[in-house]
């Protein structure tokens, strides 16, 4: 009745960390509701992942079939619909990841149950989940309440609950593939790795990072000059890379690089979740932003609330002076 | 190749002067000082739709749910090369969740002839990244989310690349008709030409209210929603950065001093 399904996510021979995070969250919710946590693992040759999931779950439901070797939304969705209809869990938790956002919304429609996405926290009020998520680039929180249903599907933001220690020993249950017909509407081909550029920002000890606040490509030289004066490498938010002002390999964040410099100087970057997950490893974070409410100030050690077009040239001068 | 592209009008949250204040209802924000723009990802979706049209012929239809003021983003998409547009506008559409929004889009798109429906992969205001994939299932079509490359490889087949964490691309084949949610950076959106802007003022924007959609009142707005945002709140934040006060001359001295002290310069 109060059971929770968690879809395990794996890619290219690795169980993804988000799986253990969500299993941890599910464990906390189950403790409250008295339900059981089931990790659902679809894949091929996945015994190792099953073992890992078992230490975070009461049960691991394993469907081992070549059909699931690489993720395919069409196949995954069919399998999940069958499993959910048969087992009737109360909650289905999926990562709000590149995989999850491709799968969870259509799954919920096919099941005809409520869905919300990018959830940062969930509580149970009585029988029902209540979710908190962010709006307007993290400037506002919103509380989501659901209409009554037997099943609720939620996509959970990565890194919103730290993975616990595990320590359970859930039963591993292998079941037959519930999907008997081949899926043809969509076919996985291959993975293509991101290109590697001339500067590897994951190795940089100092990063000067530029965001959309720079406004125009013609302002980019002031950032280059600051980076040069500081002896730092130049990196960027996605907005700057999308605009073509810096190459893709300079992008910091969830779809770019995870960096761990001694100093990360974020200039004109708002601090979207997808960006700041990439700077968790930085020692000192400094932010320059005109907007005092920019979320980046929640992650920075020092901040300057001002126009970057004024501060950056002044800072470059001071640093040049200091270095003599 | 006929493409339908969904565009949303959103406040420009990259503008440092756009403050987001919760209004007295608790479930809306004060929009009076917002400057509105096309949603970032939708800008790329429009460009991708027009590129496909230029390469493979066909028509581009622009679809929006929004007030009359949203004509601004619709017209801009028409000016760049869209052929016609539909705008869904009715007070009863307010507070639609993911499902009700997708249902509205489906009601307008379902009767059109198309090969691909494109949405943005995420709206910058609500950040659901869900409307496109929800819409696909409602139209009973295959889909791919977070698309970073599109190539036509057969009469009813596309090769697309989906962007995953770390910039990894998942390449796949998908049958058309289908729904693709487009990720930013897939192309370089063009600017509208003056000629295009003039031409756009003559193109038709069909406006649909609730009756025109054929949906009932309990299928749209809050009534038609199953996951309802009931209350906004100001986020509880942890410790904030130590803010260095003063004008640029002063803050740059303070910051360079701190960096020196920490051995960083
Ligand atoms: C699946 C997915 C993956 C993503 N991956 C990444 C990723 O890897 N990396 C990433 O960065 N983003 C990523 N994003 C995008 C992310 O959500 C944000 O849109 C992006 O980080 C915003 O970049 P920004 O902070 O430069 O721009 P904005 O959010 O537009 O912020 C601009 C900032 O500049 C400030 N500003 C403006 N003018 C000035 C001025 N004159 N002086 C000082 N400050 C000024 C503004 O106050 C604002 O805070 C991803 C999004 C999705 C959906
Ligand atoms: N009001 C709307 N009008 C037109 N398209 C919309 C609307 N809301 C959402 N969409 C489309 O759905 C995409 C994803 O939105 P979301 O799921 O809300 O993040 C957007 O990029 C748009 O393409």
For residue A324, name the pLDDT band (cuts at 50, 70, 90).
confident
Helix (H) or strand (E) holding A320: helix A308-323
Per CB-CB distance under 8 Å, the chain A contacts of B233 are 140-143
The Å distance, Cα B131 to ligand 2 centre, comes to 6
As a whole number of angstroms, the distance between CA B112 and CA B124 comes to 27
In angstroms, the first-to-last Cα distance of chain B is: 57
Given B19, B184, B241, which is nearest A302 (Cβ)? Answer: B241
Three-state secondary structure call for residue A124: strand
> What residues line ligand 2, using a CB cutoff of 6 Å?
B 6-8, 39, 41-42, 64-66, 101, 119-120, 122-123, 126-132
Three-state secondary structure call for residue B123: coil
Query: Using one digit for the tens of pLDDT, what is the confidence trace for B163-192?
Result: 999 999 999 999 999 999 999 999 999 999
Interface contact A194-B121, CB threshold 8 A? no
Interface contact A102-B133, CB threshold 8 A? yes
Q: Is the confidence at residue A197, as pLDDT, over 90? A: no
Q: CA angle, corner A41, sides to A38 and A43, nearest 5?
A: 170
Ligand nearest to the CA of A305: 1
pLDDT of residue A113: 98
Three-state secondary structure call for residue A20: helix
Q: CA angle, corner B51, sides to B8 and A195, nearest 5?
A: 90
- A188, β-bridge pairs: B172
* CB of B95 less than 8 A from some CB of A: no
- B232, β-bridge pairs: A142
Which residues, in sequence order, are CB contacts of A186 under 8 Å at separation 6+?
A72, A73, A74, B142, B144, B172, B173, B174, B175
CA-closest candidate to residue B130, choices B102, B154, B104, B156: B102
Interface contact B146-A102, CB threshold 8 A? yes
Given B22, B137, B253, which is nearest A106 (Cβ)? Answer: B137
Strands (E), chain B: 3-6, 9-11, 36-38, 60-65, 84-88, 116-120, 143-154, 157-163, 169-175, 178-182, 205-208, 227-233, 242-243
Given A139, A239, A242, which is nearest B20 (Cβ)? Answer: A139
pLDDT of residue A323: 87
- Please tell me the least confidently modeled range out of A185-189, A299-303, B32-36: B32-36
Contact B65, B109 (CB under 8 A): no
Q: What percent of chain A has pLDDT over 90?
A: 96
Query: Using one digit for the tens of pLDDT, what is the confidence trace for A96-147?
Result: 999 999 999 999 999 999 999 999 999 999 889 999 999 999 999 999 999 9
**Sign of the C-alpha dihedral computed for residues B126, B103, B27 and B87 taken in this order:** positive
**Sign of the C-alpha dihedral computed for residues A99, A104, A106 and A110 taken in this order:** positive
- Please tell me the least confidently modeled range out of A17-21, B80-84, B117-121, B237-241: B237-241
pLDDT average, residue stretch A20-49: 96
Report CA-CA distances (Å) from B36 to A54, A165, B12, B103.
Answer: 49, 46, 6, 24
Residues present in chain B in total: 265
The Å distance, Cα B122 to ligand 1 centre, comes to 14
Query: Using one digit for the tens of pLDDT, what is the confidence trace for A153-165?
Result: 999 999 999 999 9
**Sign of the C-alpha dihedral computed for residues B206, B212, B214 and B218 taken in this order:** positive
Query: Using one digit for the tens of pLDDT, what is the confidence trace for A79-102?
Result: 999 999 999 999 999 999 999 999
pLDDT of residue B125: 96
Three-state secondary structure call for residue B228: strand
Q: Are strands B242-243 and A302-305 parallel, antiparallel or unpaired?
A: parallel
Q: What is the ipTM of this complex?
A: 0.97
Mean pLDDT, chain A, integer:
96
Which residues, in sequence order, are CB contacts of A165 under 8 Å at separation 6+?
none
Q: Is the confidence at residue B14, as pLDDT, over 90? A: no
Q: Are strands B242-243 and A152-156 parallel, antiparallel or unpaired?
A: unpaired
Structural domains of chain B, with CATH: 3-219 (3.40.50.620)
Q: Are strands B9-11 and B143-154 parallel, antiparallel or unpaired?
A: unpaired
Interface contact B175-A256, CB threshold 8 A? no
For residue A1, name the pLDDT band (cuts at 50, 70, 90).
low
Q: Which atom of ligand 1 is nearest to the CA of A288?
A: 43
Contact A201, A259 (CB under 8 A): yes
pLDDT average, residue stretch B63-78: 98
Residues 156-185 of B with CB under 8 A from A: 159, 161-175, 178, 184-185
pLDDT of residue B167: 94
Mean pLDDT, chain B, integer:
97
Contact A271, A138 (CB under 8 A): yes
Cis peptide before B39 (omega within 30 of 0): no
Q: Which residues of B58-89 are buried (b: 16+ CB within 10 A; e: fewer)?
A: bbbbbbbbbeeebbebbbbbbbbbbbebbbbb
Give A4 to chain B, closest Cα distance, Å: 18
Which residue's CA is minimally distant from atom 49 of ligand 1?
A270
Q: Give the domain ranges of chain A.
A: 4-174, 201-323
- To test the pocket of ligand 2, the residue of B123, B135, B143 to mutate (highest count of ligand atoms within 8 Å of its CB) is B123
pLDDT of residue A136: 95
Contact A213 CB / ligand 1 (< 6 Å): yes
Per CB-CB distance under 8 Å, the chain A contacts of B125 are 135-136
Which residues, in sequence order, are CB contacts of B246 under 8 Å at separation 6+?
B254
pTM exceeds cut of 0.95: yes
CATH tag, A4-174: 3.40.50.620
Given B14, B172, B264, which is nearest A284 (Cβ)? Answer: B264
pLDDT of residue B65: 98
Residue A267 Cα to chain centre, angstroms:
23
pLDDT of residue B17: 87
Query: Using one digit for the tens of pLDDT, what is the confidence trace for B37-60?
Result: 999 999 999 999 999 999 999 999
Provide the H-helix boundaries in chain B.
40-56, 71-80, 98-109, 131-138, 194-200, 210-213, 248-261
Contact A37, A116 (CB under 8 A): no
The Å distance, Cα A296 to ligand 1 centre, comes to 10
Which residue's CA is minimally distant from atom 26 of ligand 1?
A211
Contact A6, A100 (CB under 8 A): no
Given B142, B235, B248, which is nearest A310 (Cβ)? Answer: B248
Interface contact A239-B256, CB threshold 8 A? no
Residues 184-203 of B with CB under 8 A from A: 184-185, 188
Q: CA angle, corner A268, sides to A262 and A274, nearest 5?
A: 70
The Å distance, Cα A268 to ligand 1 centre, comes to 8
Strands of the sheet with A284-289, listed across from one edge: A233-236, A206-210, A263-267, A284-289, A302-305, B242-243
Query: Using one digit for the tens of pLDDT, what is the confidence trace for B78-116?
Result: 999 999 999 999 999 999 999 999 999 999 999 999 999
DSSP for residue B189: P
Interface contact A302-B258, CB threshold 8 A? yes
Say whether domain A201-323 belongs to CATH 3.40.190.10.
Answer: no
Which residue's CA is minimally distant from atom 41 of ligand 1?
A307
Q: Which atom of ligand 2 is nearest to the CA of B66?
A: 1
Three-state secondary structure call for residue B19: coil
pLDDT of residue B138: 98
As a whole number of angstroms, the distance between CA A249 and CA A228 comes to 19
């Amino acid at each position: 009745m109060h059971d929770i399904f968690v879809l395990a996510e794996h890619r290219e021979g690795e169980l993804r960390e988000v799986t253990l995070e969500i299993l941890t969250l599910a464990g906390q919710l189950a403790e409250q509701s008295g339900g059981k946590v089931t990790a659902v693992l679809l894949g091929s040759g996945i015994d190792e992942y099953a073992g890992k999931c078992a230490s975070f779950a009461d049960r691991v439901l394993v469907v081992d079939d070549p059909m699931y070797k690489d993720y395919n939304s069409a196949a995954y969705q069919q399998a999940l619909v069958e499993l959910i209809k048969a087992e009737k869990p109360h909650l289905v938790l999926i990562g709000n990841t590149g995989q999850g956002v491709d799968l969870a919304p259509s799954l919920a429609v096919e099941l005809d149950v409520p869905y919300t996405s990018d959830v940062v926290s969930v509580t149970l009020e009585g029988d029902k989940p209540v979710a908190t998520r962010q709006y307007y680039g993290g400037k506002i929180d919103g509380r989501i309440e659901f209409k009554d249903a037997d099943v609720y599907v939620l996509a959970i933001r990565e890194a919103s609950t730290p993975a616990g220690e595990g320590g359970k020993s859930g039963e591993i249950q292998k079941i037959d593939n519930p999907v008997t017909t081949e899926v043809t509407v969509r076919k996985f081909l291959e993975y293509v790795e991101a290109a590697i550029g001339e500067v590897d920002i994951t190795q940089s000890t100092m990063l000067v990072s530029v965001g959309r606040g720079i406004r125009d490509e013609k302002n980019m030289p002031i950032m280059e000059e600051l980076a040069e004066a500081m002896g730092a490498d130049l990196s960027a938010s996605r907005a700057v890379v999308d605009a073509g002002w810096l190459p893709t390999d300079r992008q910091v964040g969830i779809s770019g690089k995870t960096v761990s410099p001694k100093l990360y100087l974020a200039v004109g970057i708002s601090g979207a979740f997808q960006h700041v997950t990439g700077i968790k490893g930085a020692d000192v974070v400094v932010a320059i932003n005109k907007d005092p409410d920019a979320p980046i100030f929640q992650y920075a050690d020092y901040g300057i609330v001002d126009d970057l077009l004024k501060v950056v040239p002044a800072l470059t001068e001071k640093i040049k002076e200091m270095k003599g | 190749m006929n493409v339908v592209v969904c565009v949303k009008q959103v406040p420009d949250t990259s503008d440092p002067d756009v403050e987001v204040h919760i209004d007295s209802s608790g479930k809306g924000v004060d929009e009076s000082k917002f400057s509105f723009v096309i949603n970032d990802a939708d800008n790329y979706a429009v460009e991708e739709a027009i590129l496909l049209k230029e390469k493979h012929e066909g028509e581009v239809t622009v679809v929006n749910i929004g007030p009359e003021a949203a004509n601004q983003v619709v017209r801009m998409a028409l000016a760049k090369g869209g052929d016609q547009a539909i705008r869904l506008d009715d007070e009863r559409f307010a507070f639609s969740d993911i499902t009700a929004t997708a249902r509205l889009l489906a009601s307008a798109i379902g009767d059109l002839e198309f090969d691909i429906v494109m949405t943005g992969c995420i709206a910058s205001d609500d950040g659901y990244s869900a409307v496109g994939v929800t819409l696909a299932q409602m139209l009973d079509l295959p889909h791919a989310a977070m698309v970073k490359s599109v190539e036509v490889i057969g009469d009813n087949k596309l090769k697309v690349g989906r962007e995953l964490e770390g910039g990894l691309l998942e390449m796949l084949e998908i049958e058309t008709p289908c729904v693709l949610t487009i990720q930013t950076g897939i192309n370089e959106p063009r600017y509208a030409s003056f000629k295009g802007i003039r031409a756009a003022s003559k193109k038709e924007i069909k406006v649909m209210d609730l009756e025109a959609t054929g949906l009932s009142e309990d299928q749209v707005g809050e009534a038609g929603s199953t996951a309802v945002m009931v209350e906004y709140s100001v986020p509880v934040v942890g410790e904030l950065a130590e803010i260095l006060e003063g004008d640029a001359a002063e803050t740059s001295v303070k910051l360079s001093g701190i960096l020196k002290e920490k051995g960083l310069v």
